[in-house]
Amino acid sequence: MMREYATSARKSELGPDEIMERALRSVAPEVLEIERCDGFRSMSNLDWWLRDPAARPPADVAALDWITGGPVLDVGCATGRHVEALRERGIDATGIDSCPAAVELATRAGYDCRVGDAWQPPAGAGYAAVTLLGANLGIAGTVARVPGFLSTLAAALRPGGQLIVTSIDWRMSTGPHEEFVAAQLGAGRYPGDAQLRLRLGDAAVSTWFDWVWVDQDTLREAASTVGLRMVDVMSWRHHYAARLVA
Q: Is 173 in a helix, a strand, or coil?
A: coil
Taking the least distance from each CB to ligand SAM, the nearer of 81 and 190 is 81
Q: According to the binding rule CB under 6 A, does residue 23 interact with ligand SAM? A: no
Q: Which of 21, 3, 13 is nearest to 205 (CA)?
A: 13
d(CA 213, CA 135): 8
Residue closer to ligand SAM by CB (options 52, 117) is 117
Under 8 Å between Cβ of 98 and 17: yes
118 counts as binding ligand SAM under rule CB under 6 A: yes
Q: Which of 19, 32, 67, 78 binds ligand SAM (CB under 6 A)?
A: 78
Instruction: Judge if the upstream peptide bond of residue 71 is cis by omega within 30 degrees of 0.
Output: yes
Per DSSP, what are the bridge partners of residue 74? 95, 131
Give the Cα separation of 192 and 179 in Å (integer).
12
Answer yes or no: are the C-beta atoms of 218 and 150 closer than 8 Å. no
Looking at beta carbons, which residue is closest to ligand SAM? 134
Distance CA 64, CA 128 (A): 12
CA atoms within a 13 Å half-sphere pointing along the CA-CB vector of 229: 5
Size of the site for ligand SAM (CB under 6 A): 17
Please identify which residue in 33, 35, 84, 97 interacts with ligand SAM, judged by CB under 6 A.
97
Q: Which of residues 139-198 bind ligand SAM (CB under 6 A)?
A: 139
Using the minimum distance from each CB to ligand SAM, give the nearer residue, 133 or 143. Answer: 133
**Which one of 25-33, 75-83, 152-160, 227-235 is the stretch in contact with ligand SAM (CB under 6 A)?**
75-83
Is 105 among the residues that bind ligand SAM (CB under 6 A)? no
**Residue from 23, 32, 77, 106 in contact with ligand SAM (CB under 6 A):** 77
Q: Which of residues 120-139 bind ligand SAM (CB under 6 A)?
A: 133-136, 139
Name the residues that contact ligand SAM, by CB under 6 A: 20, 76-78, 81, 96-99, 102, 117-118, 133-136, 139
